[in-house]
Amino acid sequence: MTDARKFQSVPGVRDILPPESAFWNHVEQTAGDVFATYQFSEIRLPILEQTELFARSVGASTDIVGKEMYSFADRDESSISLRPEATASVVRAYIEHGMHTQPGDVKLYYMGPMFRRERPQKGRYRQFYQIGAEVLGQSDHPGIDADVIEMVLVFIERCGLVGHTLCINSIGCKDCRPKYVELLRAALTKVKDRLGPDSQRRIETNPLRVLDSKLEAEQTVIETLPRIADHLCDACREHFKMLQAMLFMRQIAYEVNWRLVRGLDYYMRTTFEITAPGLGSQNAVCGGGRYDGLVELLGGPPTKGIGFALGTDRLILALEEAGKGAAAPQLDAFIAWMGAAAYPMAVRIARALRDAGCSVELPHEEMKFKKSLSLAARLNARFAVILGDNEVASGVATVKRMADATQQSVAERELAKILRK
Ligand code: ATP
Ligand code: MG
């Protein structure tokens, strides 16, 4: 009897196994390729940041900072956190490295894990992954917003996603939003007893978040609340109108959703969200918006900003639901060798084929041909390269095409040519 403990992954945290991991690489590679055509460059950010960075930017009263963040005292007692999102880090890096002196807009993308202590369920994890991009610069032209939206749509469509919906909204600026929030708070206070405890609490802390409620019982009363579109200042109204013209120009279909507010304090004006079918209630694959005041708030020069974060886990789930997920990787050649003299030839051929870009499985324990050919079949190999005493003597391999069991003799130096096809 041993008392070896069996370990399991922490709740809400999961392994991404082959062949799915290859599909993840493909999706991330596609993102990088598409973003590069829009002249975005990758930034690699740390996973740890000072807790204060998120408290200031995302907002201390948000769910993310208030109850979902993994924060802990470092050995010197300073509080650090696992990042729950990455826009704050991008802005921190932008300021720290004086990137505002670079010519033109600074256009950055990132990908990697984020951490939030939420209730784990399908499409909601405690370690999840985001692919995001940000534009930082002097202009807040709505054409930038539209280009960013176009870029993320091109990316997800190139991955094969269909049936998704883009929703947009404007949540105003520091001039008009506070007035609207007060109006909303007053209206909410009047209907307080028709709201659940979460929404009741938010009347004080974050009234906009009530609009985001998915509680069935609250829906009719929310529909009666004042709408921000009727309370935008002239500049915000014009910006939102222009954004829609810019989307129209790009032939991008969208819906205006007046209840689309984001759970992060730094957003202003444009907000958007992309939802995908097949994900149940965790159907938001991408959220984004404008955050013109954030760089200044974190101690940098006046700067405009817009960006998005896409949930990679959810995008991949949606693609898998649509039958567009991972394909098992192809094995080009299995080297079936027998006899001590065949092993050096097997090693040499494996190397040559790999140099030519073929995937090769080379067994190291000697096996009878019957056994190695059955393993080759189970591994889905396209070809078996058979090497026995005869092949060693002649320097000519026997190549078996697994699909139809046809065999041919191929000289060692011709192998790569035959197998690559
Ligand atoms: P949701 O409303 O679904 O909780 P959110 O508003 O918290 O999303 P953001 O903070 O804007 O989401 O993050 C952007 C995207 O990251 C989301 O649209 C979603 O695809 C993904 N995402 C957020 N939280 C999680 C999570 N816990 N697990 C998996 N993906 C997530
Ligand atoms: Mg959330």
- pLDDT tens per residue, the chain (421 residues)? 567 889 999 999 999 999 999 999 999 999 999 999 999 999 999 999 999 999 999 988 888 998 999 999 999 999 999 999 999 999 999 999 999 999 999 999 999 999 999 999 999 999 999 999 999 999 999 999 999 999 999 999 999 999 999 999 999 998 999 999 999 999 999 999 999 999 999 999 889 989 989 899 999 999 999 999 999 999 999 999 999 999 999 999 999 999 998 777 788 999 999 999 989 889 999 999 999 999 999 999 999 999 999 999 999 999 999 998 877 778 999 999 999 999 999 999 999 999 999 999 999 999 999 999 999 999 999 999 999 999 999 999 999 999 999 999 999 999 999 998 6
- From atom 25 of ligand 1, which residue's Cα is the shortest distance away? 124
Q: Are 85 and 263 in contact (CB under 8 A)?
A: no
Q: Are 246 and 254 in contact (CB under 8 A)?
A: no
* pLDDT at site 238: 98
Residue 416 CB neighbours (<10 A)? 19
Give the residue from 335, 141, 109 showing the smallest Cα distance to 239. Answer: 141
Give the residue from 392, 398, 360, 352 showing the smallest Cα distance to 376. Answer: 360
- From atom 4 of ligand 1, which residue's Cα is the shortest distance away? 282
Rounded CA-CA distance 296/268 in Å is: 14
Give the residue from 179, 171, 175 showing the smallest Cα distance to 272. Answer: 171
Closest ligand (CA of 262): 1
- State the distance from the centre of ligand 1 to the C-alpha of 174, rounded, in angstroms: 25
- State the distance from the centre of ligand 2 to the C-alpha of 316, rounded, in angstroms: 18
Residue holding tokens 């995908």? 276
Atom number in ligand 1 closest to CA 63 = 7
| Ligand 1 binding pocket includes 265 (Cβ within 6 Å) | no
Paired residues of 332 in beta bridges: none
- State the distance from the centre of ligand 1 to the C-alpha of 104, rounded, in angstroms: 30
Q: Are 243 and 276 in contact (CB under 8 A)?
A: no
| Ligand 1 binding pocket includes 59 (Cβ within 6 Å) | no
Annotate 291-317 with b (16+ C-beta within 10 A) or e (fewer).
bbbbbeebebeebbbbbbbbbbbbbbb
- From atom 2 of ligand 1, which residue's Cα is the shortest distance away? 284
Evaluate the omega torsion of the peptide bond into residue 19 and state whether it is cis, within 30 degrees of 0: yes
Atom number in ligand 1 closest to CA 262 = 6
Question: From its phi and psi, is residue 380 left (phi > 0), alpha (psi between -120 and 50) or beta?
Answer: left
- Which residues are CB-neighbours of 211 under 8 A, at least 6 positions away? 222, 225, 258, 259, 261
Rounded CA-CA distance 388/287 in Å is: 59
Instruction: Note if the pTM is more than 0.85.
Output: yes
